[in-house]
A and B are shown apart, each in its own frame.
Chain A
Amino acid sequence: MEYFLMGFKTIFSGMYLLYMFAGVSLGLILGALPGLTGSLGIALMLPFTYHMEPLTALVFLLSIYTGGLFGGAITAIVINTPGSSANLVTMLDGYPMTRRGEAGRALGLALGASFCGGVIGCIFLTLATETMANVSLKFGPGEMFMVVFFGLSCVGSLAKNPLKSIFAGLFGVMLGTIGMASTGAIRGTYGIVSLMDGVPMIPALIGFLALPEIINLASSKQTLSSSNTNNIGLKAILRGIKEVFLHPIQVVLTSILGVVVGIIPAAGASVASVLSYNLSKQTMKDKEFGTGIPEGIIGSETANNASEGGALSTLFVLGIPGSNSTAMLLGALVLQGWSPGPKLFIDHKDIIYQAFSSLFVQQFVMLLLGALICAFATYIIKVPNKYLVPFVIMFTLVGSFSNRYLTFDMGLMVLFGILGFLMRKADFPIMPLILGILLGGNADSELLRIHQSYDSFFEIFQSPIVVVLVVISVLSVAAPLVSNWRKGKAEN
């Protein structure tokens, strides 16, 4: 705590503040461009940190990370294209609000929720880093498989028709297993080398979610929003931010869930936001999620930002990176001559706590810069579709190319776009499919680890964590099915 408080003294100097503003701006802009993520920003800036002091490097890279987590929500809300998979479920309620002419309110809600989630994540990071990170060591392959299974079990509640939703989710899992398995078997690539690493996530996200929406937009009205467009600009954003504070219980609960999921290596911000959205949906039965309600945006955005605190605690205390971004942060620390592993925290406690202090300040910087960028973004809805469509299409195409520099990824994006368009026409939910792709590969490798570590699959049920996760997962699948059946019965 002493180090942490002293950290503020250090952090409030002109140079660190400058790096924070630069880092958060870069993260926000990259996160908001479809196909680009905060991770890319960290990767691009990594070589520049080589000559920096360790604390300066950490502050700068963490700022990009913080900005990137929220940046993706902007496009998710305004043009139904998540900047990264962490903002996937933000679209479900954010975009309908934009269509209703409430883009400013939705962006304000997302920004306010991200800020709250980030701050709560920081508090947990400061107070309970060591304890929480040690708990995550108890997560073996059985527990990890169940976390993935739990994530997948949410697919049933992500759409109106649970059966179709689960079917789409399973199809996603199938797609997620394409490529080289942990055993070395190469499945479903049809000889295409670019598929060896599996179905790339960025083209899948853009193709399935963004492209069908843009094509629909091309065939629809003059502008993005159907009704009044007065709900734009900075005032609307501020109103949205204020509204977040009317939901204190949801904010705290979903943030805690975000932190917990963030701690688990490889679970990440995407799983955190999906689980949190599902938790909000299950606990607020009277609300119609997916129709453009504030609770949907809050549920998703608090958790993905709060997961940052959890992920960083695992990184700093155990030296285990749980995502691409944290892996690159670890890379930056190695460049500084720090040795990864549990000794990281013991050897550099002072600098790490100072970096934690900067995380707090970064949340405020994000709030300020985010509000300005969001205010600008709300004006997009006033642009006539015929000018907006070519811009968005070209950005999405180049965005999917810039991930691996492959024209193949562009082709894959168009193919997924066609499939996504047909799925929309046939009333097939797309969100569970994306979740399946996201988690399919993890599920496959964890299942293999289970078979390598245990004599029988059922041995994993000796762990109480596994049992709890199974029970919650089963409830998660059964609840929407039972609720649908009851509704049907009541209607009859």
Chain B
Amino acid sequence: MIKAYLKKMVLSTVVMAWSTIYYIECLGYSLKSRRLVQMVYFMMLGLYVINGITDYIETKKEWAKKTDSKDSAKSEKTSSSILVMLKENKAVLLFATLILYVLALDFLGFILTTFICSFIILFIMGECRIPILVGMPIALVVILILIFKMGLNVPLPAGILGV
């Protein structure tokens, strides 16, 4: 139960930790510059405590219900957890691709990075046919260049290709 409770609280704790760091930084400024931050921080702190308590009560109730129907839940859990794992792996892979895209963009340039990134995303999405894996990213790069670079004059990063 504690594990489930901590899992529920982890995000709000991270948010609260960042807010505390931010508030401490703001303490270095005059009261005028931190008045709203101070007000909001203490309200957040209060809500964090209340949320913590209500989440604990909720988790306790959920846990009591779960233990009542433990066997059926167990078989459901194994099948659903595999599905969740697969789904989340896809999400992790997609996010990792996006991070790499942002990191490589300035160096490799828009055309090359977008082509590679779209190729990888298509592959993660389950596309294995080579003509589509190559053709779609090319089409995407062309469309984006037409709209953003030529139509809207957006200076897309040139990178090593210089275009």
Q: When chains A and B are docked, how far (Å) is the Cα of A444 from the Cα of B33?
A: 9
B47 touches A163 (CB 8 A): yes
Q: Is chain B's binding surface mostly helix, strand, loop or mixed?
A: helix
Q: Is A293 an interface residue (CB 8 A)?
A: no
* Across-interface contacts of B88 in A (CB, < 8 A): 219
Chain A residue at minimal CB-CB distance from B10: A426
Chain B residue at minimal CB-CB distance from A436: B40
B11 touches A421 (CB 8 A): no
Q: Is B44 an interface residue (CB 8 A)?
A: yes
A390 touches B102 (CB 8 A): no
B44 touches A410 (CB 8 A): no
Within the complex, which residue of A174, A393, A397 is in contact with B40, where a contact is CB–CB below 8 Å?
A174
Looking at the complex, which of A14-22, A180-188, A275-283, A320-328 is the stretch in contact with chain B?
A180-188
Query: Quick one: which of A163-222 are within 8 Å of B by CB?
Result: 163-164, 166-167, 170-171, 173-174, 177-178, 181, 183, 185, 187-188, 215-216, 218-219
Within the complex, which residue of A216, A390, A414 is in contact with B140, where a contact is CB–CB below 8 Å?
A390
Q: Is A3 an interface residue (CB 8 A)?
A: no
A173 touches B36 (CB 8 A): yes
Q: When chains A and B are docked, how far (Å) is the Cα of A426 from the Cα of B32?
A: 35
Q: Is A385 an interface residue (CB 8 A)?
A: yes
A188-B22, A219-B91, A389-B125 known; A443+B36 contact, CB < 8 A: yes
A219-B87, A390-B121, A395-B144 known; A167+B47 contact, CB < 8 A: yes
Chain A residue at minimal CB-CB distance from B7: A426
Query: Least Cβ distance of B31 to chain A in Å?
Result: 9
* Across-interface contacts of B37 in A (CB, < 8 A): 174, 177, 187, 444
Query: Least Cβ distance of B61 to chain A in Å?
Result: 11
Query: Quick one: which of A406-432 are within 8 Å of B by CB?
Result: 407, 410-411, 414, 417-418, 421-423, 426, 428
B154 touches A401 (CB 8 A): yes
Q: When chains A and B are docked, how far (Å) is the Cα of A407 from the Cα of B114?
A: 13
Chain B residue at minimal CB-CB distance from A168: B15
* Across-interface contacts of A387 in B (CB, < 8 A): 122, 127, 136
* Across-interface contacts of A173 in B (CB, < 8 A): 36, 40
Q: When chains A and B are docked, how far (Å) is the Cα of A218 from the Cα of B86?
A: 11
B36 touches A444 (CB 8 A): yes
Q: When chains A and B are docked, how far (Å) is the Cα of A199 from the Cα of B29?
A: 20
Interface string of A438-449 (1 = CB under 8 A from B): 001001100110
Within the complex, which residue of A163, A171, A390 is in contact with B15, where a contact is CB–CB below 8 Å?
A171
* Across-interface contacts of A440 in B (CB, < 8 A): 36
Q: When chains A and B are docked, how far (Å) is the Cα of A216 from the Cα of B125?
A: 12
B106 touches A407 (CB 8 A): yes
* Across-interface contacts of B43 in A (CB, < 8 A): 166, 170
Q: Is A49 an interface residue (CB 8 A)?
A: no
* Across-interface contacts of B44 in A (CB, < 8 A): 167, 170-171, 174
A183 touches B36 (CB 8 A): no
B12 touches A411 (CB 8 A): no
Q: When chains A and B are docked, how far (Å) is the Cα of A215 from the Cα of B41?
A: 31
With a 10 A CB-CB cut-off, give which of B30, B36, B122, B144 has the most chain A CB atoms. B36
Within the complex, which residue of B48, B125, B136, B140 is in contact with A218, where a contact is CB–CB below 8 Å?
B125
Within the complex, which residue of B10, B12, B156 is in contact with A398, where a contact is CB–CB below 8 Å?
B156
Q: When chains A and B are docked, how far (Å) is the Cα of A395 from the Cα of B141?
A: 10
Q: When chains A and B are docked, how far (Å) is the Cα of A201 from the Cα of B33?
A: 22
A170 touches B40 (CB 8 A): yes
Chain A residue at minimal CB-CB distance from B83: A219
Interface string of B116-149 (1 = CB under 8 A from A): 0110011011110000000011001000100110
Q: When chains A and B are docked, how far (Å) is the Cα of A33 from the Cα of B25?
A: 37
B126 touches A386 (CB 8 A): yes
27 pairs of residues in contact across A and B, judged by CB atoms under 8 Å:
A33-B147, A44-B152, A163-B51, A166-B43, A166-B47, A167-B44, A167-B51, A170-B43, A171-B15, A174-B19, A183-B30, A187-B29, A187-B34, A188-B26, A390-B118, A390-B122, A394-B117, A394-B140, A401-B154, A405-B154, A407-B106, A407-B157, A411-B99, A411-B102, A414-B102, A417-B95, A443-B36
A185-B30, A386-B126, A401-B156 are known contacts; what are 17 more A-B pairs with Cβ within 8 Å? A40-B152, A178-B22, A181-B33, A185-B29, A187-B33, A215-B94, A387-B136, A389-B121, A390-B125, A391-B140, A393-B121, A395-B144, A405-B154, A417-B98, A443-B36, A444-B37, A448-B35
- Chain B interface (Cβ < 8 Å from any Cβ of A): 8, 10-12, 15, 19, 22, 25-26, 29-30, 32-37, 40-41, 43-44, 47-48, 50-51, 54, 86-88, 90-91, 94-95, 98-99, 101-102, 105-106, 114, 117-118, 121-122, 124-127, 136-137, 140, 144, 147-148, 152-157
5 closest cross-chain pairs (CB), A and B: A386-B125, A185-B33, A219-B87, A426-B11, A390-B121
